[in-house]
Amino acid sequence: MALIRFAIIGCGRIAQRHAEQICKRGKLVAVCDVIHEKASSMAEMYGARAYYNITDLLFKESNLDIIVVCTPNGLHAQHSIQSLQAGFHVLCEKPMALHAKDAAEMIAVARKSGRQLFVVKQNRYNPPVVAVKKALDENRLGKVFSLQLNCFWNRDASYYKNSWKGTRELDGGTLYTQFSHFIDLLYWMIGDIKEVHAVLANYAHQQIIEFEDTGSVLLQFENGATGTMNYTVNSYSKNMEGSLTLFAEKGTVKIGGQYLNELEYQDIKDYRIDNLPAGNIANNYGTYVGSMSNHDKVYDNVLDVLHDRAPITTPAEEGLKTVEIIERIYQTATRL
């Protein structure tokens, strides 16, 4: 079986998670970052070649299979499109893009070039999420009436200091950087959104970020279900909760913990979810904690697809839906 050859564009913290998985499954040939020290340091760590702009990388590294895009959110579309047009498959970190039209262009370019476009949606692999999705697919819960999604995390001033994070142009908003995985799960598990109403505010990050740190969202789904989403990065000192509660015809279930990692409650007619695996720990970045670390499963699927053994588990079309929903929330929101 041919060894899959990777390059990473963007050498920030999440790139380290990718590099670790790549080195277990393939070869990391090259890395690229406009900050020379970051690219050089990562290249030395993993025995890869360092580049300092994407044009040089794409022109000089012809013997590659897949480009992993880990640059700031606002550059995902541009860098993915350039990589696809150069003839490489692409694995793009979340969010896929900051605008639905850009995500749609990414998909169109991938189709035209005949390359695969993967989007990272690692929360789909959380054991309780997998189990509840299976129960939904098997109609164990019956019709879903309503849901509550809570995302209560901590991101203090130090998180945004000297960073692209917090800017409209490169970050986009709290729903893009912190909670796009949660929006993805709503679409994946419940379906598309029909109506959305939101109220957003910036309470604790004035002069620090260019958008909201708190939001309350009312959702109506195409299948008739209603839902609420309450989110904030103002949880004092540390992350508090990432949870999804479903109220349905034949049961109630809550996935909770700090990042949808625990099955906190279940009461389902003639059915019980048992023997869940422990799952991976969360991504720990030293001063803060992110989502559950399931990049191993993302890469397992990437290799299975490239070796013609499986379909993509997170199609780019579903990544586009996440961007569309977030964009609708922001476009229609009342800002306090």
**Could you tell me which residue, 287 or 201, shows the higher pLDDT?**
201
24, 46 contact by CB (below 8 A): no
Q: What is the token pair recorded at 285? A: 């970045």
Residue carrying structure tokens 């989502």: 291
> Percent of the chain, pLDDT > 90?
89
Q: What is the token pair recorded at 89? A: 């498959």
73, 28 contact by CB (below 8 A): no
Pairing of strands 144-152, 226-232: parallel
For 182-236, the pLDDT digits (tens) are: 999 999 999 999 999 999 999 999 999 999 999 999 999 999 999 999 999 999 9
Where does CATH 3.30.360.10 sit in the chain? Answer: 124-279+316-335
Helix (H, G, I), strand (E, B) or coil at 120: coil
Q: What is the pLDDT of residue 283?
A: 46
Q: Report d(CA 124, CA 193) in Å as an integer.
A: 19
Q: What is the pLDDT of residue 288?
A: 47
- Banded pLDDT at 309 (limits 50, 70, 90): confident
**CATH top-level class of 124-279+316-335:** alpha beta
Where does CATH 3.40.50.720 sit in the chain? Answer: 5-122
Q: Report d(CA 12, CA 149) in Å as an integer.
A: 29
Pure H helices in 206-315: 295-306
For 125-179, the pLDDT digits (tens) are: 999 999 999 999 999 999 999 999 999 999 999 999 999 999 999 999 999 999 9
> Percent of the chain, pLDDT > 70?
96
The Cβ of residue 190 has, within 10 Å, a number of other Cβ atoms equal to: 20
**Is the model's pLDDT at 278 over the cut of 90?**
no
Q: Report d(CA 202, CA 183) in Å as an integer.
A: 20
- Give the bridge partners for 231, in sequence order: 151, 215
**Is the model's pLDDT at 281 over the cut of 80?**
no
DSSP string, 210-256: SS-SEEEEEEEETTS-EEEEEEESB-SSS--EEEEEEEETTEEEEEE
Q: What is the pLDDT of residue 287?
A: 52
Q: What is the pLDDT of residue 1?
A: 67
What's the mean pLDDT in 72-93? 97
**Could you tell me which residue, 80 or 2, shows the higher pLDDT?**
80
For 7-58, the pLDDT digits (tens) are: 999 999 999 999 999 999 999 999 999 999 999 999 999 999 999 999 999 9
Write down the CATH number for the domain with range 5-122: 3.40.50.720
